[in-house]
Amino acid sequence: MTVNPYLPLPYRVIAVRQDTPDTATVELRPVGAAIPEPAPGQFTMLYMLGVGEAPISVSGAPIEGAPLAQTLRGVGAVSKAIIRLQPGEELGVRGPYGTIWPVAEADGHDVLFIAGGLGLAPLRPAVRHVLANRERYGRVSLLYGTRSPQDILYRDELAMWRRMLDVQIEVTVDRAHRSWHGAVGVVTELIPRAGVDPSRTIAMVCGPEIMMRFSVQALQAAGMPCEHIYVSMERSMKCGVGLCGRCQFGPDFVCKQGAVMRYDRIAHIFTVREI
């Protein structure tokens, strides 16, 4: 069956889990036909009738009967309407769109994930893939930074990953009350702790652009080649198929050539504002 890329398919809400005060994970199952299985790093367009639609990264693919999971922050009309949905209610889903995290290219390499804030959501499927195929990868590290302890996503899953004896998990916050006993500071300060071998490590970075810029600078200072660094450029996507032009980034369209991009391809424009 040919899928119309502009036509959302109906999905029913199975559960809505409040992750932080302003962020929730919505779990969905198709009412009828389903979109193709998303790969790690891809996104969908979620549609609310009478409100609009928004691009949201997939934070959990429907593997082995699991629901499609999308984690989003309620910052606009569409995202606020979605996180207010109740189980049994429906919304539209189209996609998946975009490029994927280099989990295949990283085969046989060490893997370093660097996430800032909500950026852990798009990285989560890649982390799950790597850990589910642990024997194919070398050293695995996840460095995660948030504004405060209250903003930490997937606490139970982070704790489970941390219990694995061959995975390094480091979490830091920008600010915290005295009850917080973890690291305080920006996520780039964790990079030296990872002890990566830059010649054999693939880095996947996702978060606010300023955080990604400083992370890339720190990785380059550590000797990591540009072609070993991947970033997620989630800029101003609107249609999802490169038609409206709103997400143009230099010669590329983020929704088609991204959002995951290898850094050496965009290094010349990565720090240019308003491009």
Across the range 25-31, mean pLDDT stands at 97
| Residues of the domain holding 259 | 110-266
237: in domain: yes
**The domain boundary residue, chosen from 97, 126, 146:** 97
Looking at residue 39, which CATH number applies to its domain?
2.40.30.10
* Residue pLDDT, tens place only, 12-26: 999 999 999 999 999
To the nearest 10 degrees (0 to 180), the angle between helices 120-132 and 155-163 is 30
Q: Is the pLDDT of residue 191 over 60?
A: yes
132 in a domain, yes or no? yes
pLDDT for the residue numbered 246: 86
Half-sphere exposure of 132 (CA within 13 A, CB side): 9
For residues 120-153, b (16+ Cβ closer than 10 Å) or e, as one string? bbbbbbbbbbbbeeeeebebbbbbbbbeebebbb
Report if residue 162 sits inside a domain: yes
Q: What is the pLDDT of residue 85?
A: 96
Per the prediction, the chain carries an average pLDDT of: 92
- Percent of the chain at pLDDT > 90 equals 77
Question: pTM here?
Answer: 0.94
Q: Is residue 166 part of a domain?
A: yes
Q: Is residue 21 part of a domain?
A: yes
Question: 196 in a domain, yes or no?
Answer: yes
What pLDDT was estimated at residue 1? 52
